Structure 1
């Protein structure tokens, strides 16, 4: 049985509390996200919210032949179960996948379920807004958004390929506005090469994928340098190559086991106002928990065809600040940090957690091991390495290896009992960070020259090695048979 989203969902259905579906009709325009906010979004979504099951909406208003799935990755524990790995060490698993990649393979059209139905944009009745049940998260959104579409593109000479995720809004019948964040993304490098040639860049946008793919493709440099196809990571995670299939309308490959493939071209040197249809000034909710500002100049993407599965294809979506984003962005970042620090200071960083409080990008908690007095200060070196591994990181919390980095009470206990603010805070000013952080504005802090610059913070909650004996936890008796008392 080929590995795909439907196989994963079949497995989830066998696990209590991990999957729920409803036949009650839902409007994809804000209602769907509004409902799931209460059921399972988690992360930094507006309260009240919670960690809950993945959810399939079977009856979508205006789209009788589609279903919408949300929240498949909105639980670290669920993702661990999907990948058959301990959820606490998923960063280590992804790091290993980068080191031992499994390249994608190309298959024929007749074995690609993503191409069972073909609709060409040249058909007079074609309108992507009536075909694809892309939801809006809030009434202020610039339009229906593709939030979990994996974009696959290549360099003009075809020698390098890249898979990545961008926010994409449906603008009209055959136009998508795509926000490509400046710097670091390989797709943007390829696009500049096409623009230098004044040629459109052929891409596919692949929707409805097994979770190994959206997690694997969210890696960024330096873990995956230019020319590294991130689909290789997904192949390693699922122990099976990702299958590609040639497009029917553009010279680019799509993901053969996807639910949907949008074949399109990014137009050279063409941009448009992201919220041209609403003029609300907002795009959609982004991972820091705020509505993202509409970009005045997103890239213009012209759709050439849509292909999809015949049997009620699934549109996979997410809420920007949800736990789902933390899984996709945070765990690959953990892997990148582990990779770099272990090369520089092997054995000193035991584990890393990019917590939901930072949306998976802005904050990391590092578990440090010190062997002797010569290791004193190595923890702060690890923090500096983390910042260099991922420029969008803003805050690092350092704790000893007896602290559970996944338990906020334990982390904050460290800050309250192993920390003095006058000596254990490091502030690094004038560094690059993520432009979606709303505090990075010159009118918030005059020392910030342009949007996207920030101060970085390190909270060092590790105990000085020579004082370790004074910071031992109260030791309770080990009781291997404690479960007997629950029977």
Structure 2
């Protein structure tokens, strides 16, 4: 659970005793310049943790690796087995979601939102085995003391499980876990084959214990909600998404909560929408996906999703160029690997991909627009891009050296 990370981080976590209201947190963090600082806040008498995985460096610290190793490490990570225990550690309380410090982040939000709740679900007919469950993060707006409305994105796994249940005249049972270890959050944000999240989390964490309750297997958490995603629909939104702009209001399914469990002196966890932590969780999991795809067409060295694009729309791909055309093949492979990706810049291995100044140097000295600029019109993009309509235009820049004139690009130390 999150208190394991609290011990790991030690005095890097800043604790504030000043009591805040549920709609004052974002302003407090901004005023105190805490966007990249792990914090424990007092929200209406409850402890609220934020920013425990808000930088690339903090993720690497949990994993015990260097920043430059992250993409390759994740690309080569293999799942491992999990331990299952029957001893459920939390106490059951009367269901009342209003007793949780659920935050309202921005003035035009449709309501108070759970943003770090991992929804665990399985096919209603599947056995209770680790590989039968899907774990993913969904935003959930508070409706009442026992109801939420959740944004389910088509055609992702939770949505497909819910549609199947509804088509068979059933609700989809779910467990919502809040206050899990940051690496479990990261695993839940990673696009994986169905049923692989628990194994992947175990590999990231060096082992994972799951607890059996009812027909669920769940990780160690501060808060557990058991309920059902029903066929009832309510308005969800507006809500600020990764771009820092408001997503539209939609009719989305209602979750009815039947049971509620809390750790003693629980710590509620919250992800601020459009924050650095939001960007890390949404963007970095795509880097190993792109890395693997590009490795099929050329010798890839590293991949970084750029912070300026919210770690979501633009990528820098570093390759060891062996033949002419490698750069353009890398562009095509990267864009194919991540449908939300809008642009790719491909650079040589002597370029520091963590420095946009160095990347811009590569564009300035190794790129000619009439030869090295790739545009793909009418492609499927991300619904989060406010500039896109039904389709989007994607582009790539091949900013690699021409092999026939390598000496012309030699840089002084």
Into which bin does the TM-score normalised by the smaller protein fall? over 0.9
TM-score (norm 1): 0.80
Once the two structures are superposed, the pairs formed by residues 122-133 of structure 1 within 5 Å of their partners are 127-129=96-98, 131-133=99-101
Q: How far, CA to CA, are the matches of 2:33 and 2:401 in structure 1?
A: 37
Alignment pair present for 1:189 and 2:160: yes
Tell whether 2:200 aligns with 1:233.
Answer: yes
Other-structure match for 2:175: 204
Q: Distance in 2 between matches of 1:96 and 1:244?
A: 28
Aligned to 2:85: 107
> Do the aligned partners of 2:376 and 2:395 also contact (CA within 8 Å) in 1?
yes
Q: Which residue of 1 aligns with 2:246?
A: 291
Bigger fraction of residues in strand: 2
Query: Which of 32, 43, 57 does residue 60 from structure 1 map onto?
Result: 43
Q: Which residue of 1 aligns with 2:396?
A: 458
1:360 corresponds to: 311
Q: CA deviation at 1:28?
A: 1.8
What's the counterpart of residue 380 of structure 2? 432
Aligned partner of 2:342 in structure 1 is 394
* 3-state SS, counterpart of residue 150 of structure 2: strand
1:7 aligns with: 4
Q: 2:234 maps to what in 1?
A: 272
Superposed counterparts of 1:145-224, under 5 Å: 145-159=113-127, 160-183=132-155, 185-220=156-191, 224=192
Is 1:246 the counterpart of 2:184? The answer is no
Unaligned runs of 5+ in 1: 43-51, 122-126, 276-281, 442-449, 476-487
1:468 correspondence with 2:397: no
For the Cα contact (< 8 Å) 2:297–2:333, is it kept in 1? no
d(CA) in 2 for partners of 1:242 and 1:408? 41
What is the correspondence of 1:311-460 to structure 2 with a 5 Å cutoff? 312-342=265-295, 344-345=296-297, 348-371=299-322, 375-441=323-389, 450=390, 453-460=391-398
Deviation per CA, 1:346-390: give whole Å up to 9, x if none: 5x110000122222221111001113xxx2111211221112211
TM-superposed CA distance for 1:94, in Å, is 1.8
**Count of residue pairs the alignment pairs up:** 409
Q: 1:40 offset after TM fit, Å? A: 5.3
Q: Distance in 2 between matches of 1:214 and 1:166?
A: 11
Partner Cα separation in structure 2 for residue 470 and residue 102 of structure 1? 48
Give the TM-score of the pair, scaled to structure 2.
Answer: 0.94
1:74 matched residue in structure 2: 54
SS in 1 for 2:18: coil
3-state DSSP of counterpart to 1:379: helix
Write the distance in 2 (CA, Å) between the matches of 1:73 and 1:260: 19
In structure 2, C-alpha distance between the alignment counterparts of 1:404 and 1:306, rounded to whole Å: 48
Q: Secondary structure at the match of 2:190?
A: coil
| Contact 1:90–1:331 (8 Å) recurs in 2 | no
For residues 105 and 282 of structure 2, the distance between their equivalents in structure 1, rounded to whole angstroms, comes to: 19
Contact 1:287 1:321 in 2 (8 A): yes
Secondary structure of 1:53 counterpart: coil
Residue 431 of structure 1: how far off its partner (Å): 1.1
* Alignment of 1:25 onto 2:19: yes
Asked if structure 1 preserves the Cα contact closer than 8 Å seen for 2:154 and 2:160, the reply is no
Q: What residue is the counterpart of 2:29 in the other structure?
A: 36
Contact 2:318 2:348 in 1 (8 A): yes
Deviation digits for residues 312-353 of structure 1 (CA, Å, limit 9, x no counterpart)? 2111111221111222122210011112222x135x110000
> Offset at 1:418?
1.8
